[in-house]
């Protein structure tokens, strides 16, 4: 039997998450990645440089950040194994769990569902605005619920499944290298002119890192929801991302609703294709059901993590 590091990290995250009191005092480890990325972006993403030069500097930024994350995590992991011997997996699990966001994602989405259930739309808009990038001021109940379900589905991959996957594959260095890549993608991996060249490496590397986890996330959602296979296989590629469409289409299929569609960013409407079938009016009940499916999918991931440890 191998060390159940991934299962340990998943259980710890679900049990305690990253407490707000701790966050207020020391922040979160991902904040260090954000600081480095922002520093490099300010110095090197100069629009007076050619696109080729900015792309090269973006590659250097990503390689440096990922190497730093992987290297520090490797040294820490080896030190734990040297000092603690057969019980080092517990320390590694403790050091890995902040990279996983089961509890945080659930709490943020539940914070949208609660005011929606009592008709407090402004409060729900504020809550959903914390987890999505689209304009939220004019969203009705269906728009708020849809946005929250989409965020829940997509973040199930990059917030839970992908970190657990890379923890299983490469240990502590793998999970923190992934978080460095994913943080870089969220900050600079955008298609807008300011980011397109400098963030190219971050966006493409994140696509590769999520290739398997995204499909695994869709699979887990379909199993948890007992359906959705046809819609996932049919509509996953309608999403602009090569990966985000898999869990989102799976959730749309399980719930029997349409997700995505036209959406507004900074006052500009983007005509995105619909994913799924059914009416465009997504209800608060659908949002609550998506949370139940999410919890079941997380439990299935626990079983996989435990099963891999037992089998090896």
Structure-token match 């890549």, residue found? 181
Give yes or no for a contact between 32 and 184, defined as CB atoms under 8 angstroms apart: no
CB 234: neighbour CB atoms within 10 A? 14
Residue (of 167, 7, 164, 3) closest to 85 by Cα position? 3
The 10s digit of each residue's pLDDT in 53-109 is: 999 999 999 999 999 999 999 999 999 999 998 899 999 999 999 999 999 999 999
- Is residue 1 pLDDT above 60, yes or no? no
**What pLDDT score does 2 carry?**
65
Q: How is the chain split into domains, by residue range?
A: 5-311
> Of residues 163 and 3, which shows the higher confidence score?
163
**What pLDDT score does 258 carry?**
94
- Where is 40: in which H helix or E strand? helix 29-44
Three-state secondary-structure class, residue 312: coil
Phi, psi of 137, rounded to the nearest 5 degrees: -60, -30
**What pLDDT score does 265 carry?**
81
- Is residue 35 pLDDT above 60, yes or no? yes
- What percent of the chain stands above pLDDT 90? 81
End-to-end CA distance of the chain: give it in Å, rounded: 5
Averaged pLDDT of the chain: 93
Give yes or no for a contact between 275 and 259, defined as CB atoms under 8 angstroms apart: yes
CB contact set of 183 (below 8 Å; sequence gap of 6+): 30, 33, 34, 37
- In whole angstroms, what is the distance from residue 138 CA to residue 131 CA? 16
The 10s digit of each residue's pLDDT in 112-132 is: 999 999 999 999 999 999 999
- In whole angstroms, what is the distance from residue 48 CA to residue 71 CA? 33
Report residue 127 as tokens: 């809550």
- Where is 214: in which H helix or E strand? helix 211-225
CB contact set of 297 (below 8 Å; sequence gap of 6+): 156, 217, 220, 221, 223, 224
Measure Cα distances from 302 to 12, 13, 127, 298, 310 in Å: 11, 12, 28, 6, 12
Phi, psi of 46, rounded to the nearest 5 degrees: -95, 120
What's the whole-model pTM score? 0.94
**What pLDDT score does 55 carry?**
96
Give me the mean pLDDT over the 285-312 stretch: 94
Query: How many C-alpha atoms does 70 have within 13 Å on its Cβ side?
Result: 12
CA 3 to chain centre: 25
Angle subtended at Cα 160 by Cα 17 and Cα 246, rounded to the nearest 5 degrees: 150
């Amino acid at each position: 039997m191998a060390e159940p590091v991934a299962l340990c990290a998943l259980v710890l995250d679900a049990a305690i998450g990253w407490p707000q009191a701790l966050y207020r005092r020391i922040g979160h480890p991902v904040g260090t990645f954000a600081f480095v990325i922002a520093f490099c972006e300010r110095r090197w993403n100069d629009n007076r440089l050619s696109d080729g030069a900015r792309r090269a500097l973006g590659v250097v930024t990503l390689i440096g950040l990922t190497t730093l994350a992987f290297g520090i995590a490797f040294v820490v992991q080896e030190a734990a194994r040297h000092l603690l011997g057969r019980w080092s997996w517990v320390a590694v699990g403790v050091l890995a769990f902040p990279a996983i966001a089961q509890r945080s994602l659930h709490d943020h989405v539940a914070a949208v569902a609660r005011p929606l259930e009592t008709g407090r739309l402004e409060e729900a808009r504020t809550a959903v605005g914390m987890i999505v990038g689209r304009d939220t001021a004019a969203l009705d109940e269906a728009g708020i619920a849809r946005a929250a379900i989409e965020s829940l589905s997509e973040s199930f991959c990059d917030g839970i499944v992908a970190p657990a996957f890379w923890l299983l594959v490469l240990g502590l260095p793998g999970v923190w290298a992934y978080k460095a890549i994913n943080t870089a993608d969220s900050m600079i991996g955008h298609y807008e002119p300011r980011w397109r060249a400098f963030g190219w490496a971050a966006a493409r590397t994140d696509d590769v890192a999520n290739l398997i986890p995204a499909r695994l996330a869709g699979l887990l959602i379909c199993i948890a929801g007992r359906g959705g296979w046809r819609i996932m296989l049919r509509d996953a590629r309608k999403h602009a991302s090569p990966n985000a469409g898999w869990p989102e289409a799976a959730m749309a299929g399980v719930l029997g609703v349409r997700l995505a569609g036209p959406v507004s960013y900074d006052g500009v409407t983007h005509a995105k294709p619909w994913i799924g079938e059914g009416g465009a009016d997504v209800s608060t009940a659908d949002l609550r059901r998506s949370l139940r499916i999410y919890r079941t999918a997380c439990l299935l991931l626990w079983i996989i993590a435990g099963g891999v440890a037992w089998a090896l």
